[in-house]
Amino acid sequence: MDSGCGPAPEHAVALHPHDDLPVLVQHLMPDLDQPDARLAFERPFLQVIYDIEVPRMAFGRVCLLGDAAFVVRPHAAAGTAKAAADAWALAETIARETDVPKALSRWESEQLALGAQLLERTRRIGRRSQVDGNWVPGDPELIFGLRGPGR
Q: Tell me the per-residue pLDDT of 61-87, one tens digit each, with 9 for 90 and over.
A: 999 999 899 988 888 888 889 999 999
User: Which pLDDT value is given to residue 135?
Assistant: 79
Segment 7-51, tens digit of pLDDT: 555 555 565 555 566 666 667 666 665 555 555 666 666 677 778
Is it the case that residue 57 has pLDDT exceeding 70? yes
pLDDT of residue 127: 85
Predicted confidence (pLDDT) at residue 114 exceeds the cutoff of 90: yes
Q: How many angstroms separate the CA atoms of 99 and 108, rounded?
A: 14
Residue 52's φ and ψ, nearest 5 degrees, are -135, 130
Phi, psi of 67 (to 5 degrees): -65, -15
The pTM of the full predicted model, rounded to 2 decimals, is 0.69
Query: What helix, strand, coil percent values describe the chain, rounded to 5?
Result: 50, 5, 45
